[in-house]
C-alpha cells in the first residue's frame, strides 16, 4: 500500500510525539507499505517555522533529510494534483475546509491512489475513502 503522511504526522513521528497511534505506527513500520511525504509538506514546515519558530521543531531541510533517511519517498507536487483540488467534495452539511495545504495533499493522495494518514477531523469530512484518520 502507498501511504502519504500529512505534515503534522511527519513532525510528530520525527519529534517522537505520543499523539501517533499504534495503528499509524504499525502502518508506517510495515515493510510492505511505501511511505511518502509531499514536497508541499516541506514548504508548509518552512512557512510555519518562519511565523512560529517555537512551535516547529524542524525546518524544511531537516525534515526532508529525516524523511529520506527513514526511507520515505518524496511525492512532488504536479499540475495533475493542483487541477484535482476542484473535484474535492465535502460530506453533506460539513463546512468548507479552507487549508490549501490539506486540500492539495488530499488531492495528491487521491490522484496517486494513496492512503492519506492525518489527525485532522476536517480532512476526514471529505467524500473519499483514501483518508485514514488517527
Instruction: Domain 2-133: give its CATH code.
Output: 3.40.50.1010
pLDDT of residue 19: 84
Q: How confident is the model at residue 3 (pLDDT cuts 50, 70, 90)?
A: very high
pLDDT of residue 16: 83
Closest CA to 37 of 127, 112, 133, 90: 112
108 contacts 114 by C-beta, under 8 angstroms: yes
Q: Which tens digits make up the pLDDT trace of 53-99? A: 888 999 999 999 999 999 999 999 999 999 999 999 999 999 988 89
Q: Which residue has the higher pLDDT, 68 or 131?
A: 68
pLDDT of residue 71: 96
Q: Which tens digits make up the pLDDT trace of 21-47? A: 888 899 999 999 999 999 999 999 999
* Backbone region of residue 14 per phi and psi (left: phi > 0; alpha: psi in -120 to 50; beta: other values): alpha
**Structural domain boundaries of the chain?**
2-133
Amino acid at each position: 500500500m502507498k501511504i502519504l503522511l500529512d505534515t503534522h504526522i511527519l513532525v510528530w513521528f520525527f519529534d517522537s510525539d505520543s499523539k501517533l497511534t499504534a495503528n499509524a505506527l504499525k502502518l508506517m513500520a510495515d515493510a510492505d507499505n511505501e511511505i511518502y511525504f509531499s514536497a508541499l509538506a516541506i514548504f508548509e514546515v518552512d512557512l510555519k517555522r518562519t511565523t512560529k519558530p517555537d512551535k516547529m521543531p524542524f525546518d524544511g531541510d531537516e525534515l526532508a533529510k529525516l524523511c529520506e533517511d527513514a526511507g520515505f519517498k518524496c511525492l512532488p507536487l504536479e499540475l495533475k494534483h493542483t487541477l484535482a483540488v476542484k473535484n474535492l467534495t465535502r460530506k453533506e452539511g460539513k463546512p468548507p475546509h479552507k487549508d490549501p495545504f490539506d486540500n492539495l495533499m488530499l488531492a495528491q493522495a487521491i490522484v496517486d491512489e494513496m492512503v492519506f494518514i492525518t489527525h485532522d477531523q476536517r480532512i476526514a469530512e471529505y467524500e473519499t475513502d483514501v483518508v485514514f484518520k488517527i
